[in-house]
Each structure stands twice: as structure tokens, then as C-alpha cells.
Chain A
Amino acid sequence: MSFDSKSASYLDSIDVVEVQRGPEPGGLGGAYRAFGETLRGLKTTMARLVEGPMTIEYPEEKTPVYPRFRGRHKLHKFEDTGLEKCVGCSLCAAACPADCIRVVAAENVPGDRVSAGERYAAVYEINLSRCIFCGYCEIACPFDAITMGHDYEMADYDRRDLIFTKEMLLAEPAERTPLRSEGE
């Protein structure tokens, strides 16, 4: 880049912000400033000591989750009739980006109804080791049969134990997760 008159005038025309430089290091002034800054640092750490710890001691204390937190899935039944809401349409399985839902539908027999619709889910499995908790299944479901719960403590020792069957998803989960109250 050449520094002819043209480029100089260009530099003059724009707003040049001067670089902010700290004071020169070293010397008596530098020593004085270093001492002052050291004391300021000590003050800062002491203030942290006075404030006290902010740790949430996890297994004993838990952060409350928000109402729309997407945790482990739940399957629902009608409260009055006790019939399953799921009709085995497999829309959740189709919507699932992780392909972790398996639904096998079967016809309802008149004397022994399982669900409210014509068909019901004979097999309903969610492989939680694949699930990405996106909540698309919940959105896809036309009957609100599947929703995302609040449970997030699902660690296990075996991959096979992470495949949740219909019975496990229908069962009322042990409420281990505190819920955030209004306005919290």
C-alpha cells in the first residue's frame, strides 16, 4: 500500500478512532499502579468470599425445570374411561428425526377396547438412547397421546434398559424433578 496524498486524504475523511493505550509499564509509576491493581484484585476475591458459594449440590438439590421443559415422554389415558389416547397412527414415528419410536398398531376388539379409536398401539417403544428430546412427536400427535414430561434422570447401565415400552411410558413417573413455580 502506497502512502501518497490520495490515501492520506482518504484517511483524513473518515473518523479515525485513536488507539487507547495504557500507561507506560515500568518505573515508579508502574510499580505504584501494580501495587494498586494487586490490592484491587485482593478486594475482588475477598468480595467473592463474602458472597458465599453459588453451587447447587446436584444430587441433593435440583434446579427446578420450566413447565415446557422437554424431558422423558409420557403416554396418556382418558381420565374418565381409562382408555388409551394413542390410536397407533405412527405419526409420531414418522415425525421423529432420530427414528427412535416404533409403533405396531392393532385393531380394537369390540368387547375389549384398549384405545378410543378404531386401532390401538400394540407395541409402542421409544429408544431413549437415540431420542434427541426435540418434542416433534408431541407436536405430531393428533390426540395429545404423547407428551414430553419433566424427568431428565435417565442414566442407566445397559442400553437395553433405555428402550422404554408402552407400559413404562404409561406408568406414572416418579416425580423426581422439581417444577419451577409461576414467575420464578
Chain B
Amino acid sequence: MLPLADTNFAEATWIMVAKSVVIFAVIFGILPLLTVLERKLIGRFQHRYGPNRVGPYGLMQPLADVGKLISKESFKPENAVSTLFVLGPLLPVLAGVLSLAIIPWGDVQNGVGFYGIDVPIGILYFFAVGSIAFYGLLLGGWSSGSKYSLLGAMRSAAQLISYEVSMGLALLGVIMMSGSLSLVSIVHSQGELWYILPQFVGFLIFMLAGFAETNRTPFDMPEADAELVQGFMTEYGGMRFGSFLLVEYMEILVVSGIAAAMFLGGWMGPGPSFLDPIWMLAKMLALVFIFIWVRATLPRLRYDQLMSLGWKVLLPLATLNVLVTAVLVVVT
């Protein structure tokens, strides 16, 4: 049994501040590139180039997009509830940034932990903070005063609730095997064997639920551009709309980060220890690639199929996985 996160380990305040600034800067540097990566990859999947006009290799595309979004009028529908309407896009951004704090980029080196903070309740923190993001979607959709937004918000609520359970259960197997909730301890316990091998079912369920949690195809029912004209985002424009998009990519990064730490051995990799964050980033990007690959392949599920997949397939499978793991952990 590994201990919980070391509660006696404390860092100087200025180190904490510096770390948060670095994490914030790096992630917000990666996010725009991620949007280009997605568009270029989707293009390649469809025999196209994707954006390649703005800047070298189209890398300046997000700058142009953000410039466009910022210069737009941030209007508000007449029958929208003002405060909640403004709060809508802010909550998910807050939740996304908060979840980034626990993603481990490396071990403690020279008295500095290569992570935002090693929370003893690690994965519970991820679920707790992640749930705040749903309030953003729900309040945003509800306060817009439009039926498309409301329908989109209702769909989000139903979908997120049904997949959150499977997601939690999928991670429970890993938690039982490592005996810790702290992400840093979980990565440490994967020294010999990455948990993707013994917990492959859990990994699959987590990724599937991850697609649903991040509103990605094939589970992008809340957005459903074709039927619901972006669902809960219908009435949003300008940078408020932009921040919803930003959050989508941030959530993809967070889910990839959690999956990389829980199943793919986190920062573990050959080479000197200062390469640890690179390894972690590489694993995360590999998972992001899977997200994009799946989006390029699968069409959107029907609503009833989505529900029956969540409740009738993933939930029993995850429960079974937990049961088997529990028995094996006790026996061995």
C-alpha cells in the first residue's frame, strides 16, 4: 500500500505562484495550437490540408479567430437572465483551470513538485471541480431564454450525469490497485506496469465517458450543430462563445492528462528526469490525437442510443470491472 499524498511536503509561496503562472502560460499556449492541430488533422483525415493560409503552416489561425471573436459585439438576448448569462461561460473556464492544477507533469525534483498541487483526494477533486463546469453549461443554456439553448442544456445535463457515474467507476479500478487517490502516488505505483494493461476495460470506459464529458463526437448531443444549432451555446456570440470553445479544448487536455496519469504511467519514460514533462505532454497529445481521430470517424449517436450505451453497457461493464479488480486485489 502506498501512502496518501505527503501532507507534510510544503513549498515556498513564491514557488507555488511561479508554478501556477508557468502551468497557466503553457496550457494557454497549447490550447490555440490544439485547435489548429484538430482542424489540420480533421483535414488530413478527409484528404484535405486544413488551415494553411495564416502564418507558417496556418499556425496563426487561432490568432485570427480570436481577433475576429473579440472584435464582435457581445450581445445578449432580450429575455436572457443577465447575471447567469454572463456567468455561463465563466464557470467552465474556472473549472477547467482548477482541474489543470492536479495534472502531474513530473516528480518532486530539487524540492519543487512538477505539478500544480498534489491533492490527497486527487481524483475526487477532479470530479468535484469538473462538475462545476456543468453548471456553466446548464445556467448558460437555461438563462439564454431560447428553446434551443434550453433543449441543449437539458441534453447536457442528462448526458453528463449518466456518463459521470461510469467515469468514476472506471477510475475506481485504478484507485484500488494503487491504493491511493493522489495522482502523484498513482503515477509512482506504475513503475513496473502501466495500468492500461490490467485495467484495459477501465481505460476504454474512461475514454468513452471522456468523449461524452467533453461533449465530443460521437457524443456531442448537447452541441449537435446540425439539429440544435450548438445547443446551449446558441445565443452566445463573440468571446463568450469563444470561451465555451476554449473550455472544450481545455477539458480535452484535462481528461487526456488524467487518463495519461492514471493509465499510461504519467511522466514515466526513458531519459533523464528533466524530460518528464515532455513525456507527460507526449502521452497527453497521443490521447488528444485519439479524441480527434474518433471525431473524424464516428457520426453522432441518437439520443436513446447514447442513454442506453451509458446505462446499459458502460455502467454494468464498469461495475463488473470494479468487482473483478476488487476480488483480484484482495486475493493477490
Q: Which residues of A contact B (CB under 8 A)?
A: 31, 38, 41-42, 44-46, 48-49, 51-55, 57
Contact = CB atoms under 8 A, between A and B. Distances in A.
A36 to B, nearest CB: 14
Contacts of B46: 48
Contacts of A45: 45, 293, 296-297
Interface string B33-77: 000000001011111110000000000000000000000000000
B47 A51 contact: yes
Given A31-B313, A38-B298, A41-B298, A48 B293 contact: no
B44 A44 contact: no
Contacts of A51: 47
Given A42-B293, A42-B294, A49 B44 contact: yes
Contact of B49 (A31, A48, A53): A53
Contacts of B293: 42, 45-46
Interface in B280-311: 293-294, 296-298
Given A45-B293, A45-B297, A53-B48, 18 more contacts: A31-B313, A38-B298, A41-B297, A42-B294, A42-B297, A44-B297, A45-B296, A46-B293, A48-B44, A48-B45, A48-B46, A48-B47, A51-B47, A52-B44, A53-B49, A54-B47, A55-B48, A55-B49
Interface of B: 41, 43-49, 293-294, 296-298, 313
A123 to B, nearest CB: 44
Tell which of A31, A38, A52, A53 has the most Cβ of chain B within 10 Å.
A53
27 contacts: A31-B313, A38-B298, A41-B297, A41-B298, A42-B293, A42-B294, A42-B297, A45-B45, A45-B296, A45-B297, A46-B293, A48-B44, A48-B45, A48-B46, A48-B47, A49-B41, A49-B44, A49-B45, A51-B47, A52-B47, A53-B43, A53-B44, A53-B47, A53-B49, A55-B47, A55-B48, A57-B49
A31 B43 CA distance: 30
Interface on chain B toward A: helix, strand, loop, or mixed SS? Answer: helix
Nearest to B46: A48
A55 B47 CA distance: 7
Top 5 nearest A-B pairs (CB, nearest first) are A45-B297, A54-B47, A41-B297, A45-B45, A53-B49
B142 to A, nearest CB: 34
Contacts of B296: 45
Nearest to B290: A42
A42 to B, nearest CB: 5
A60 to B, nearest CB: 11
A130 to B, nearest CB: 34
